Structure 1
């Protein structure tokens, strides 16, 4: 058996397409409500869909190409998370981040990085690293301790297409004045299967997320 020749401009398909996997820290229900309130309003006002395409979450590792053996992924995470304690997460409120806006949950109330959050992301990345497969798109999202920034996305990839709306969207999000807890206990880790018809392009326009498993720390 041989692979069919690719047409000009066509990318090679990856084993396991169209699936990618994400491991997330889920906030408390009230914070989830605040996130979805904002993303729903951004969709209604501007047609933005990227942040709202996902369940409310802080990414530990995202867009992982792990094939289709979900039992192996769950087993690896079972081992990594067993006996691991939860930790306190502080929400510093809406902040600009990259092209968009997020709730900053990376820093403690005193402004220092939350080392327990970073350690959890490192442990999750180490657990799935042996299962990671090469992929053509999107880019591999490996863990970088220095670059890791825990956040809850409110407005994201849509602003790559509409950078002219950046300041207006920031004012809109702030003006919504959505009530949100100042923090929560970080204790719920989730695994999601994601699929898109075009990982090489505007994948968020066709993204589908399916829950696979949940772990409770503490």
Structure 2
């Protein structure tokens, strides 16, 4: 517990490398998270730009230029690909997200997403530094799940709302494309006043760079 309360060099910043959805899918995510905030006061998913996490909340005590250089090398020669949206599904231990991990059958993993996440992680891992908060994010192809978050961390504090929020999301009249072409990867720098606690309540972010596949 003492270690998790320590501040690390480079605080209060963390970095994320995200696969950006198309504008129509982004609009759907923004609409759902806005409705969730307005109806239930839950803000964690809406605190981020709509994104599919490739590398998330990494402590990178290097310059942004060094991160851009490493990811640029990892993305060299890679092309865009289709992502299938299988609709809102439970994700992780408590949240709900658009399932963009699978192909149109809803069960077969999209190998293009997995390969991209693996390549970006391999590029960023050598740049990471120790930070006790939040816990480090490591890539495991067996547990990685590409998703577009709709409701997440707030529900750890309000698990009593989980079933009600899920029902609410499934009833929202928010259309979304069943498929979109993904060809934009973006680097974001995030900041929180306290990464040890409910960091999403003070989270801010800054767009740093976009790559086109």
Q: Same fold (TM over 0.5)?
A: yes
In 2: Cα distance, 1:35 partner to 1:203 partner: 21
Q: Does 1:83 align with 2:77?
A: yes
CA shift for structure 1 position 10: 8.3
Stretches of 4+ moved more than 3 A in 1? Answer: none
Equivalent residues, number? 210
- State the Cα deviation string for residues 95-147 of structure 1 (Å, max 9, x = none): 11120110000000122000110000000000001101011100000111111
Residue of structure 1 equivalent to 2:14: 20
Q: In the alignment, is residue 181 of structure 1 matched against residue 177 of structure 2?
A: yes
- The reply to whether residue 114 of structure 1 matches residue 101 of structure 2 is no
Matches within 5 A, 1:6-155: 11-97=5-91, 98-110=93-105, 111-155=107-151
CA distance in structure 1 between the aligned counterparts of 2:4 and 2:182, rounded to whole angstroms: 42
Secondary structure of the 1:112 match is coil
Q: Note the aligned Cα RMSD (angstroms).
A: 1.2
2:154 is equivalent to residue 158 of structure 1: yes
Q: CA deviation at 1:67?
A: 1.1
Q: Which residue of 2 aligns with 1:204?
A: 200
Query: Tell me, what secondary structure is at the counterpart of 2:5?
Result: coil
Deviation at 1:64, TM superposition (A): 0.5
**Higher Cα radius of gyration:** 1
- 1:35-75 Cα distance to aligned partner (Å, 9 max, x none): 00000011111111100000000100101000141110000
Aligned counterparts of 1:148 and 1:100: Cα–Cα separation in 2: 15
Helix, strand or coil: the match of 1:152?
strand
- Helix, strand or coil: the match of 1:121? helix
Q: CA deviation at 1:163?
A: 0.5
What CA distance in whole angstroms lies between the structure 2 residues aligned with 1:100 and 1:78?
32
TM-score (norm 1): 0.94
Is the 2:62–2:127 Cα contact (8 Å) retained in structure 1? no
2: distance between equivalents of 1:10 and 1:213? 30
